[in-house]
Structure 1
């Protein structure tokens, strides 16, 4: 079953067109990567989905067009966005940040259980559970941002550059946790990631953007075998 489908999506920042015909499809429980050079439109694609930039074309959620829906209503549909830069609430503790993630939920007992699950998923956060977000390392803030998004119990998670600025060992730990989260929760994911080698360990398929257009897509195994993909993204 197709959960989300983008058909010829366009987007502008003022007079500047950033997306010009982006198309991709995410099945229920699937994971899709978005690759491309800086400025290709990867982040804008996620913003178009989450309703934080005006867009054209069609963005179909279970067959219904949600293009230009307000961000809070997109979130209520079950789409959680972890933006580049993390956005940790620095004045709140780790536990308080997690509770903020669950603000739309009413199942309080389940919220407590999910907080415990997040602290198990990211043991560093359990050790810092009473610390303010501003006191966390960059890697811990990224873990917290992902865990906070999970607390909304989304059906689709948008992850923008989860490894950006992290040491390789920390980035691997973060992606190991994301992989476990996907397997155990069944959450579908769209992953924008500068480290294609990391992304390809997690996604089933990927779309390549160039200057705001979808120019290539396919299963992970197929893309990894292409010379142009290896040269551009895999260091081959």
Structure 2
């Protein structure tokens, strides 16, 4: 097992309780153990995804730094959000192009973060990156998504980190062009908050504007724990994500 709690170094859970979280916050074994121990009591004992869904694992080169790609808003977080976005889009009966665009949006929504703190404006930076690299994203998806659909996905990326009641007039206008994309991406991002080191930061579904199926939060919790544990045990990020996802998808 990879040692992710060097001697004398506090875990993320302890640092969060002390309001001393560092700029970069890679997962550690003690924090993941604390997360696993605090599994919500009302969650299904055998969580699963009813269908495989699309998941796009972003390249480390898409991030501002190697260090940030392995942090709490790095590759694994973005990949899981891409899966939740695709599953939610299917659940709400969106079209194939919207599903693919949301999968891509989830995979890149935090790729321009400077650190794991609030980092205002990182959504807009990621949207700019996305618009300039649509060919790269289409290649990674393995399909061509229409430019107009990708443009709407970029608008969702740009505001994913902005509370609805803080939207500017311009952001409200953009939201009206594709509310379903914004709502799905915000919900998908919210569902991966189980990776955070204090329960008060975990998902609050009342803040969302779309319905989330009952099976998704327990499965999202399990995917965080299983994929992060596999990575701590030494698996590469793509292998950690794939193994965790298979374990939660019947028939895979």
Q: TM-score of the superposition, structure 2-length normalised?
A: 0.32
Q: TM-score of the superposition, structure 1-length normalised?
A: 0.33
- Bigger fraction of residues in helix: 2
- Bigger fraction of residues in strand: 1
